[in-house]
Amino acid sequence: MKEILFGVVVLSLGILIIGCSQKKSNLENASVNGIFYAGNGNEPQDLDPSVVTGVSEQRIVSALFEGLVSENPQTLQPEPATAESWDISKDALTYTFKLRKNAKWSDGIPVTAQDFVYAYNRILSSKLGSQNAYMLYCMKNAEGFNKGTIADFKDVGVKAINDHELQITLERPTPYFLPLIAHMSWFPLQKKNIEKFGAMDQRGTKWTLPGNLVGNGSFILKDWKVNKVIKVVKNPHYWDAGNVKLNEIDFFPISDNQAEERTFRGGQLHMTFTVPTSKIDYYKKNASDVIKISPYLGTYYIAFNVQKPPFDNVLVRKAFSLAIDRKSIAEDVMKGGKIPADSFTPPNTAGYTSLTKLVYDVQLARKCLADAGYPDGKGFPRVEIMCTKLDIAEALQDMIQKNLNIKISLVNKEWKMYLDSFRTRDFYVATASWIGDYNDPLTFLGMWTSDSGNNRARWLNKDYDKLMAESSICINHNSRFEIFKKAETLLMEQAPIIPLCYCTSMALLAPQLKGWYPNVLDHHPYKYMSLEKTL
């Protein structure tokens, strides 16, 4: 009896296991066929370049579409793409782009200047409600049209001179204009394709589904299985198709970074979207050629609600800033080669480096706190740190308690609640991060003006506003940066926010993958990538 039953169990398990005891190596097969397996974070919400915002979406959209210029994979300098050349007027306000004659959509129809005008009209139309429309605000009257104060799109500074010449007029001099238009919000769209499935400014039509979508990028959308895979294949109509080495890219939406790392280790991915903090040390020690860590255009910081006591007092904010050991946070908590921050704008952002310096000085911190009226933390009201991820906040809590003798509690909020608390200003201190939209200090410093929606500290400072206004009309590169430096110094002195450390981008790369270069935007054009067949 016993034997028989045991036999049944063992046998069935055995069959199960033996029946599948051979497993082919996916990655090598894929490499031979030129199929690139990429981990891609979250399931993309859509693939409409005018609508999507996330990094996961950006990675796919940039394979399917191409803008006027593209980024050099190493330096991020603008390079000719759909536009083969351009002229800039003397006052730096008018750009004229000459489009390539051989630039084609994936259905074989040539890309024309009208396609760009159409795309810009679409993204700026208020009915579409694009979250990226602000990226085009440097264009003349674009903001007005988007917000409804200008009714006619003809007044917006974009014009198709003929099929192959596009003229863009700017609102004000924008030194970062060319890098900016490599962003997906500036990609062209085919009118015929979009309006086959609905009106121009209608959201959520089916035009972005496989078989429907027509793009002008180096790849075509072939398959899209929700939460499973998105496949794109090489576009034969792409103007530079001869230089595209990959035959196919499979994007896997693996939102759990632990699962993604395991999938990579199991040999199913050429590239991961990110690396779990806990695995960094392991890879650095055992497989340092696989893990890639590079500076990323972003900063972790804490924001004070400066309109709510006790943080309306600059001395309290200073005391907190001085009591934080950034080095320990960067190295022991965040890991991955993070650098402690001395400014909000990461150093060498398009050549700009702030002059500020942030120090860790417990004695001075205590003195500041005493001057603010809380000697040795006495009488300090009960406040809390709001966060969405615990590691930094936990370390901060401990540091503040140790160094300032202030007890703070932690509130770990679910993402949407966290965002909502900023909106309703229902927080004291919050950990946060900011990733720059484009490679220019303005994307970091512009957000702390009084009228900015992203000013989470609700810090209102007339001097700062004046400096930023000055910078926006300044044409000279160097004097513009000088103004930025003044503004950043003011920001650090007033300390409505405290930078903690700069972000890094992390990825695991299989050795077969070539043509991947680190850069501060973590953009990696697929055109340059290739897969080595043998190792």
Partner 1 sequence: MFLLKKILLKRDKGCVVEEGNSLTREAFFRLRKNKLAMFGLFFLLILVLFSLLGPYLASYSYYRQDLGLGAAGPSFVHLCGTDLLGRDLMARMMYGGRISLAVGICATFVSLTIGVVYGAISGYFGGKLDSLMMRIVDIIYALPFTMLVIVLMVWLGRNFILIFVAIGAIEWLTMARIVRDEVLSLKNKEFIEAARAIGLSGWKIIFRHIVPNLLGIIVVYITLTIPRVMMIESFLSFLGLGVQPPMSSWGLLIKDGAQVMEEYPWMIFFPGMLFSLTLFCLNFLGDGLRDALDPKMKD
Partner 2 sequence: MWSFLLKRFLHAIPVLFVVATITFFLIRAAPGGPFSSEKVLPPEAIASLNSYYGLEKPIYKQYYEYMFSLLKGDMGPSFQYTNRTVAGMIMEAFPVSLELGFMAMGFALTLGVCMGVFAATKPNSMRDYMSMSFVMIGICVPPFVLGPILIWFFAIKLEWFNVSGWGSFRDCILPVITLGAIYAANIARLGRAGMLEVLSQDYIRTARAKGVPEILVIVKHSLRGGLLSVVSYIAPAIAGIITGAFVVETIFQIPGLGRLFVLAAFNRDYTMIMGTVIFYAVMVIIFNTIADVIQIVLNPKRSFDEG
The residues binding partner 2 (CB under 8 A) are 1-2, 4-6, 8-9, 12, 16-17, 20-21, 23, 26, 43, 45-48, 51, 53, 126-131, 133-134, 146-148, 203-209, 225-228, 252, 254-256, 258-259, 262-263, 265-268, 414-417, 419-421, 423, 453-454
The residue among 332 and 463 lying less far from partner 1, judged by its C-beta, is: 332
Are 61 and 51 contacting, i.e. CB atoms less than 8 angstroms apart? Answer: no
DSSP SS3 for 303: strand
Enter the DSSP assignment of 352.
B
Read off the amino acid at residue 244: V
Q: How far is the CB of 514 from partner 1 (least distance, A)?
A: 29
- CB 394 → partner 1: shortest distance, Å? 6
Residues composing the chain? 535
Q: Which of partner 1, partner 2, none does residue 410 bind (CB under 5 to 8 Å by kind)?
A: partner 1
3-state secondary structure of 183: coil
Q: Which does 514 bind (CB under 5 to 8 A by kind): partner 2, partner 1, none?
A: none
Both tokens of 430, joined, read 């919050």
**Dist. CA 421–CA 430, nearest whole Å:** 10
* Cβ 143 to partner 2 shortest distance, Å: 9
Query: CA-CA distance, 177 to 170, in Å (whole number)?
Result: 9
Of 155 and 332, CB closest to partner 1: 332
Options 312, 361, 398, 493; binder of partner 1; rule CB under 8 A = 398
Choosing from 75, 102, 258, 454, the residue that interacts with partner 1 (CB under 8 A) is 258
Q: How far apart are CA 1 and CA 397, in angstroms?
A: 62
Partner touching 206 among partner 1, partner 2, none, CB below 5 to 8 Å by kind:
partner 2
For position 390 contacting partner 1 by CB under 8 A, the verdict is yes
Site for partner 1 in 326-385 (CB under 8 A): 328, 332-333
| 80 three-class SS | strand
Q: CB-based contacts of 412: which residues, under 8 Å, 6+ apart?
A: 387, 388, 389, 390, 393
127 binding partner (options partner 2, partner 1, none; Cβ < 5 to 8 Å by kind): partner 2
48 binds, among partner 1, partner 2, none (CB under 5 to 8 A by kind): partner 2
- Supply the minimum distance, in Å, between the C-beta of residue 397 and partner 1: 7
Partner whose footprint covers residue 492, from partner 2, partner 1, none (CB < 5 to 8 Å by kind) = none
**Per CB under 8 A, 155 contacts partner 1:** no
Site residues for partner 1, 272-291, by CB under 8 A, read: 276, 278-279, 281-282
- What DSSP assignment string belongs to 244-291? ---SEEEEE----HHHHHHHHHTT--SB-S---HHHHHHHHHH-TTTE
Any contact of residue 6 with partner 1 (CB under 8 A)?
no
For residue 98, report the phi and psi dihedrals to the nearest 5 degrees. Answer: -100, 120
Residue in the block written with tokens 């009257």 = 141
Binding string, residues 299-328; x marks residues near partner 1 by CB under 8 A: -----------------------------x
The interface partner of residue 394, options being partner 2, partner 1, none and the CB cut-off 5 to 8 Å by kind, is: partner 1
Residue whose CB is less far from partner 2, 23 or 357: 23
The tokens 């051979």 sit on which residue? 22
The answer to whether 377 and 369 are in contact (CB under 8 A) is: yes
**Residue whose entry in the numeric block shows the structure tokens 């005493």:** 370
Site for partner 1 in 225-244 (CB under 8 A): none
CB 110 within 8 A of CB 188: no
Q: Who's near 143: CB < 8 A, 6+ residues apart?
A: 134, 137, 171
Q: Whole-number minimum distance, CB 270 to partner 2, in Å?
A: 14
Query: Binders of partner 1 among 408-467, rule CB under 8 A?
Result: 410-414, 417
User: SS3 string of 379-396?
Assistant: CCCCEEEEECCHHHHHHH
Please, what sign has the CA dihedral across residues 54, 55, 60, 63?
positive
Total residues contacting partner 1 by CB under 8 A comes to 21
Task: Give min distance, CB of 476 to partner 2, in A.
Answer: 29
Crossing angle of the two packed helices 362-371 and 314-322, in degrees rounded to 10: 160
Contact positions toward partner 1, by CB under 8 A? 258, 276, 278-279, 281-282, 328, 332-333, 390-391, 394-395, 397-398, 410-414, 417
